Amino acid sequence: MKEDLLKSLKSLTDDLDGSVQKVQTEAGLSELKATYLGKKGRLTEVLKGLGKLSSEDRPAVGAKANEIKNIIEGRLRSALESLQRQSIAKELAQDTFDISLPGRTEVVGNVHPISQIFAEARHIFEGLGFATCSGPEIEDDYHNFEALNIPADHPARDLQDTFYLKDGRWLLRTHTSTVQIHIMENQGAPVRMIAPGAVYRCDSDVTHTPMFHQIEGLWVDDRTTFGDLKGVLTLFIQQMFGDGTKVRFRPSFFPFTEPSAELDMSCHICAWKNPSCPVCKGTGWLEILGCGMVDPAVFQCVGYDPEKITGFAFGMGLERMAMIKFGINDLRLFFENDLRFLQQF
Amino acid sequence: MLASFNWIKDFVDFKADAPELVRRLAMAGLESEILSQPGKGIDDHVVTAQILKIDKHPNADRLSLCEVQFNDEVSPVVCGANNMKAGDKVVLARPGAKLPGGLVIKVSKIRKVESQGMLCSESELGLADTSEGILILPPETPLGLPLTQALDLGDTILEIEVTPNRGDCLSIQGLSREVAANFHLPFKSNETPTFHEATGKSQVEVNVRSQERCGRYACRVLSGIKVGPSPQHVVRRLESCGIRAINNIVDATNYIMLETGQPLHAFDLKEIRRGQINIRTAESGEKMKTLDGIDRELNCEDLVIADGERILALAGVMGGEDSGVSEATTEILLESAWFQAGSVRKTARRLGLQTESSYRFERGVDPSGCVAAINRLTEVILEVAGGKVLGSTIDHYPDPVRPIEVTLRPSRIQRILGIALEAPEIMTPLQALGISGEAGKGGDYHFQIPTYRSDLNREIDLIEEVARLYGYDRIPATYPSIHLSELLQAKGNSFDQLDHIRTLLTGWGFHEVLHYSFTSHELLKKFSQEFSEEQSLLNPISEDQSVMRPALFPQMVQTLQSNVFKGNKDLRFFELRPVYRFDREGDGKRPFQESWHLCLGMSGARRSPHFLEKESATALKEFKGLTLLDLKGYLEALFHRCLPGIKIAEGPLNLPYFHPNRQMSLTLQTPGTQGETVAGGFMGRLHPAVLAEMDVPVPILIGEIYLDLFLTEWKNSIQFEEISPFPTIWRDINLIVDEKTPSGEVLRVIRAQGGLWLRRAELFDLYRGKPLEAGKKALTYRLEYGAKDRTLTDEEVNGSREKLLEQLKHTLGATLR
C-alpha cells in the first residue's frame, strides 16, 4: 500500500513535467493547477488512500505528499513567471526605438574665450602660490609710466599710444603693470601676485584693437633670480599649452625690468615642420609674453630696497593666448559678439 | 630699421647665412626678419650687355631684332619692347639662364629668326612687381658682368626691430659691432678718411644759444661740388634700406647716416644769410617750410637752426625747403650735430613728423661720433661730387661727454641671475662690445662705458649685458621655494565670485559677451544715460569709442540687434564688466569709480523646440517665448544662489526706453541692518518704439545688476537648517482679489501671517475671466505646513489656514473662491 501510494505521488510530478511544457497560456496553467491540486485534483485523489495506511506509515507518506505539493506549486509558479516574461518580451520586442533620434536637452551657454583663458591661467598661477589682484583701469601718469621707469618724453612711450580722459590728467592704463605699483605701495615683500584686466592703446587695425586684455605677474622676495623666472614661467607655459611645449627666453627691453626677456614658445601648429606656417611664419616660435627682473628704479619708487629685494615680473596678452590656443585668426572676433563665434567655445 | 646683409658684412667677416644671422640677432635681443632678397634667383647667365644696332623684325611688325654685345661676342636677340635705342646698356639673359620666375632661356626661332637670349625687364628679373619695357642700365655700366655683380644684387634686406634703449644699433656699424661680438669676430672699422683739410677763416659763424639742447655742432663748407645722380650701388643700398635716392649730396648724407647712425644735413651755402648759423629756439608763431613742402608754425619749445634772418631747419628733425641742396648748388655746408633727445622728440611729436633723423636723436646719438661722421661724409662727397674743403671746420663742443665708469659686483650677478660667472665670462663679451674694464680690489670690476652706449649707466645695465652675451638659454631654470605671505594669500578674491556667476549663467544658456569699455555719446543719450563730460576721452579713435561707459546695457542692445540682423536666433547673453563714473575729487581720492555690473540681454525663445514638442507647438509658442518673468526668474535665482538670505524686492520704474508696463527695479536689503535697502538693479522689455527705430522685429529684454553686494557679501549668510524627519502637509488656497492687488503683496501677507508651521508658499495658478467679475483675478497658492518635532494633524493645519484666510480677507479684501 505504502509503496503504491509513494509511486502514485512520484508519477504526479513526472506527468506534470510533460503537461507544463505543452501549456502556452496563463489560463492553461490555471487549468493544470486545478487538475493536480484542485479539490478534485489528482493529488487529492491520491491522498484519499492515506486513510488506509497504517499509523506508522502515514506520517512519512503525508510528508512526501506535502513535498510533492510544494514541487508542483513551484513548477507551476515558475512556468507562470516564464510565460509572463515571454509575454513582456514579446510586447517590448514590438516597441521598437530609433536610437539615432536627437536627444533633448537644455541649452548651455559659454564663457567668453578670453575669460576662459584667464580662468585657466589663474588656476595655474594660484596653484604656484600667486594671489589674484586687480587695480583701476583709469590711471594717473605716475602709476602707468613714471613709477615704471618710463619718464616723460621717453621713446618707450611710443610703444604704447595712450588714451587720455578729458582733462588730460587721467589716462586709460596701457598695461596691467600698473597693478605691480599699487600692490607694492601697499605691502612689503614677499609679493606673489597676478593681475588680469583690460588695457587700452590708441591703435585700431587688423591686428590691434583699442582695448585688449593682459595678465600681469609679479614675484618678489629676498632671493628671487632670473633662473627662478625661467623656471616659473616655463612651468606655466607647459601647464597652459602642454608638457611638450618648448620655450626660449630672448633678450628684450622693457623700461621696468632688467634684464628683460621675451618668452617664445614652440609653434604647436607646425612644430618646426612647415617653413611657410602662417602662425609662426616658419620660425617655429611664437612670441607669447614679456618678462624680466624688476628694475631697481621701480623698487626705489615703491620704497623697497633693491639691495635686499629682487623679483621678476611678466605680462602677457590674453587675446594672443586665446588665438594660439583655439586657432582664432582674427583678433576682432573677440569683440564682435557674434553668436556663431561664441557658441564654439 | 632696414639693414643690408652685405653692408653688415663690409664690417664683419662672418660666414653665417641670412636665416642664421636672424636667429643670432634674435638671441642677442635684436628681433629681425628677412624682408626681401632682391636679385634672388638671377643666375650668372644674366649679364650686362649693349645694343649695337636695332632692326625691324622681318616677319613681325611689333618685334625688333637687336644686335647685342657682351664680352667680345655679338648675338642676335629678338625683342618685343620699344623703349630702347642703339647704344643702350641692357640686361641680357643668355641661353641657359634661368630667371626668378622659372623661365629657362634657350636659343629659339621667333617667326623664323634666331634669337640667342632675351632682353629683360625689371619684373622679369624679380626686381619690381611691374615694369614697362626692358631695363636700361646707366651708360657707365661695364659689359659682360653678371647682373647681380653689376647692380650689387644678391643682397638680403633685414627688418630689424631695435628696442628704444638701443639707439646705438640704428646704424650698420652699430649692428655690425653686435654681430661681431656675437660671432666672436673682429669689427673692421672704416679707415680714417683722407682729404685735404683747409685752413683759413670759416665761412660761417656758429652761435649755440641753447647749450643744453645742442651739445655739439660741427660743420664744414665744401665748394666746387657738382650735384648729380649717385652711383648705382649707392642708390641700390639706399633704396633697399627704404630711403629714396635724390642726388649725390643728399644721398651721401643719408648713406653715412645709415652707416654711422649720425644724422647729417647739407645746406646750400648760398642760402645762408649773413654768414650765421644760430641754434636757437623758435619764436612763438614763427613759420618755416620744411623739405616736405609743408608750412609749419613753430612755438618757443622748438629748437631750430637759423641764419641771420630766418629759420633754415628744425634741429634734428628736418631741413627747410629753401636751404636744401638743388641742381644748381655748388657750395654746401655740412652739419653733424648732437641734439638732446627730449627736445627733438617734443618737436617731432607735436608736428607729427618722425624722420630718420628724429628717430635716431630720440633714441640717443653718440656726441663723440660727430666729427668722424662729418669726415667720412666729406670724403664720400669729394669722391662722388668733386670739390674741396673751404675754410676751417667748426666743432662747437664746449663740454665733451666722457666715458662713465660703472662698478660691477660678481655677487650681484649671482644675486640677479642665479649663477656664478668666472672673470672671462664677464670680461670677454663686454670687451667685444668695446666696454673695457678691469678687476679692482675686492673682486669688483670697473668698466669704462663707451659714449655710444648711453643705455649703460648702472650695475644692473651691465648685468643685463653680461646675461645677454652669456646667453639666456645657458642660465638654468630653477624652482624657487616660497615664503608664505599672509596678506595676499589669506584673502579671498572677487574673481571666484565672478566665475561662479559665469558658471550659473552659462548653465542657464547665456553666452558671455565682451564690449569695449568706451562707447558713443549718441548711444548713451539714446538710452538716457547720465555721465560726466570728464568721462569722455581726449583723443578717441572715433565717436563710437569716445566715452567711458556708465552702464553696460546700451551696447548689449546693439549686440542683440546685430545678432538678429545676422540671422542668429534665441539669444541669451550676459556681460560681466566694470562701469565707470566720475565722482568729485578730494582727499587724494581718485575721482573715477569703477564698479562691477552684470548685464543680461535676451531675445527669442529658450531654445528651438525639440521634435517631441512639435505636437503641442501652439501651446508652446506662448510658453517658450522669453518674457520679463523669465528674466526676473533668472535674476532672482542668481540672487538666491549668490546672496542667500538677502531679501530682494521689486519696485516700480519709469524709464522711457522700456515698455511702460514691463519694467521694474530691484532693491536689496542691506545685510546686518534693519530694513535699510540698496539699489540692486533694474530690468525691462524694450519699448516697441525703440525696437522699431532699430529695425528689430523681435522683443528684447534687458537687465542690469549692480554687483557690489555680490562681491562683498558672497555666501556669508548661509546657515544650515536641520531636515525634519516628519512629513509635511500641503494645502491650496484659491483667492479672489482686486486686479490692482499685486500678487507679490498677497504672497507677502501669506508669508507674514501664515503661522509658525508654514514652511513654503508659492503661486500655483492665476486666472482671469468668467465666472469672475471684471476687475477681479483668482490666485491659487500652494502652501506647505510642517513642524520640526512631530507630524501635524489635519485639524491643526486647517485651523492655521482658516486664520490666514481671515487675515487675507481683513488686509487685502481677498475672498475664498
Select the more confidently predicted residue: A230 or B623.
A230
How far off is chain B from A16, nearest CA to CA, in Å? 51
Q: Do A225 and B483 touch (CB under 8 A)?
A: no
The pLDDT, as a whole number, for residue A274 is 77
- All residues of chain B having their beta carbon less than 8 Å from the beta carbon of residue A125 are none
| Of residues B164, B341, B562, nearest to A253 (C-beta) | B164
In a domain, A99, yes or no: no
- All residues of chain A having their beta carbon less than 8 Å from the beta carbon of residue B346 are 153
- All residues of chain B having their beta carbon less than 8 Å from the beta carbon of residue A251 are 27-29, 464, 467-468, 472
- Digit-coded pLDDT (tens) for B408-429: 999 999 999 999 999 999 999 8
Scored b (16 or more CB within 10 A) or e, B296-334 reads bebeeebbbbbbeeebbbbbbbbbbebbbbeeebebbbb
- Residues 394-433 (B) with a CB less than 8 A from some CB of A: 415-419
Judge if A86 and A144 occupy the same domain. no
Residues in chain A: 345
- Digit-coded pLDDT (tens) for B657-672: 999 999 999 998 877 7
In a domain, A276, yes or no: yes
Q: Do A107 and B612 touch (CB under 8 A)?
A: no
How far off is chain A from B395, nearest CA to CA, in Å? 28
Q: Do B342 and A153 touch (CB under 8 A)?
A: yes
In a domain, A100, yes or no: no
Is residue B492's pLDDT more than 90?
no
Judge if A124 and A85 occupy the same domain. no
- All residues of chain A having their beta carbon less than 8 Å from the beta carbon of residue B536 are 165-166
Q: Do A112 and B468 touch (CB under 8 A)?
A: no
Distances (CA, A) of B172 to A241, B38, B241, B453, B622: 39, 19, 11, 15, 76
Judge if A37 and A177 occupy the same domain. no
**B614 and chain A: CB distance < 8 Å anywhere?**
no
Judge if A215 and A313 occupy the same domain. yes
Of A94, A127, A145, the last residue of a domain is: A94
H-helix or E-strand spanning residue A185: helix A178-186
| Of residues B164, B509, B514, nearest to A334 (C-beta) | B514
Of A94, A126, A145, the last residue of a domain is: A94
Partnered with residue B390 across adjacent β-strands are: B221
Strand duo B436-439 + B404-408: pairing? unpaired
Strand duo B571-582 + B511-512: pairing? parallel
- Digit-coded pLDDT (tens) for B133-151: 898 888 888 888 888 888 7
H-helix or E-strand spanning residue A90: helix A57-94
Across chain B, mean pLDDT equals: 90
The pLDDT, as a whole number, for residue A47 is 80
- What residue of A is the nearest CA neighbor of B579? A137
- All residues of chain B having their beta carbon less than 8 Å from the beta carbon of residue A223 are 480
| Of residues B417, B467, B512, nearest to A111 (C-beta) | B512
Judge if A144 and A287 occupy the same domain. yes
Judge if A75 and A162 occupy the same domain. no
Q: How confident is the model at residue A63 (pLDDT cuts 50, 70, 90)?
A: confident
- Digit-coded pLDDT (tens) for B638-653: 988 888 778 888 999 9
Judge if A44 and A132 occupy the same domain. no
- What residue of A is the nearest CA neighbor of B340? A153
How large is the average pLDDT for residues B680-703? 94
- What residue of B is the nearest CA neighbor of A155? B164
Distances (CA, A) of B140 to B90, B442, B448, B472: 12, 65, 49, 51
Q: How confident is the model at residue B620 (pLDDT cuts 50, 70, 90)?
A: very low
Q: What would the DSSP string read from start to end of B109-125?
A: EETTEEE-SEE--TTTT
> How many domains would you assign to chain A?
2
Q: Do B416 and A293 touch (CB under 8 A)?
A: yes
Q: How confident is the model at residue A316 (pLDDT cuts 50, 70, 90)?
A: very high
Q: Say which CATH number the domain at A262 has.
A: 3.30.930.10
The pLDDT, as a whole number, for residue B623 is 46
- Residues 475-514 (B) with a CB less than 8 A from some CB of A: 475-480, 482-483, 485, 487-489, 491, 493-495, 499, 502, 505-514
Scored b (16 or more CB within 10 A) or e, B180-205 reads bbbbebebeeeeeeeeeebeeebbbe
Is residue A14's pLDDT more than 90?
no
The pLDDT, as a whole number, for residue B537 is 95
Q: Where are the beta strands (DSSP E) in A56-186?
A: 131-132, 138-140, 170-172
Query: Do the beta carbons of residue A114 and residue A213 sit within 8 Å?
Result: yes
Query: Do the beta carbons of residue B133 and residue B329 sit within 8 Å?
Result: no
How large is the average pLDDT for residues B279-300? 93
Judge if A302 and A216 occupy the same domain. yes
How far off is chain A from B689, nearest CA to CA, in Å? 25
Interface with chain A: mutation pick from B158, B340, B460, highest number of A CBs within 10 Å: B460
Query: Do the beta carbons of residue B726 and residue B788 sit within 8 Å?
Result: yes
State pTM to two decimals: 0.85
Is residue B489's pLDDT more than 80?
no
In a domain, A316, yes or no: yes
Q: For residue A57, give its domain range.
A: 2-94
Q: Do B487 and A187 touch (CB under 8 A)?
A: yes
How far off is chain B from A325, nearest CA to CA, in Å? 19
Tell me what percent of the residues of chain B surpass a pLDDT of 90.
66
Judge if A135 and A219 occupy the same domain. yes
Contacts of residue B748, Cβ cutoff 8 Å, sequence gap at least 6: none
In a domain, A105, yes or no: no
- Residues 661-720 (B) with a CB less than 8 A from some CB of A: none
Give the integer Cα–Cα distance in Å for A304 and B389. Answer: 58
Of A49, A66, A94, the last residue of a domain is: A94
Distances (CA, A) of A137 to A180, B158, B241, B510, B576: 13, 38, 40, 27, 15
Query: Do the beta carbons of residue B437 and residue B431 sit within 8 Å?
Result: yes
Interface with chain A: mutation pick from B213, B415, B566, highest number of A CBs within 10 Å: B415
Judge if A64 and A121 occupy the same domain. no
Interface with chain B: mutation pick from A105, A250, A294, A340, highest number of B CBs within 10 Å: A250
- Residues 135-164 (B) with a CB less than 8 A from some CB of A: 163-164
Judge if A208 and A81 occupy the same domain. no
- All residues of chain A having their beta carbon less than 8 Å from the beta carbon of residue B483 are 190, 221-222
Hey, what's the cell of A210? 583699442
How far off is chain A from B463, nearest CA to CA, in Å? 7
Interface with chain A: mutation pick from B166, B212, B511, B577, highest number of A CBs within 10 Å: B511
In a domain, A240, yes or no: yes
Q: In three state form, how does the secondary structure of B600-617 look? A: EEEECECCCCCHHHHHHH
Q: Do B341 and A342 touch (CB under 8 A)?
A: no
In a domain, A143, yes or no: yes
In a domain, A264, yes or no: yes
Judge if A78 and A129 occupy the same domain. no
Q: How confident is the model at residue A17 (pLDDT cuts 50, 70, 90)?
A: confident
**Lookup result for grid cell 660743420:** B219
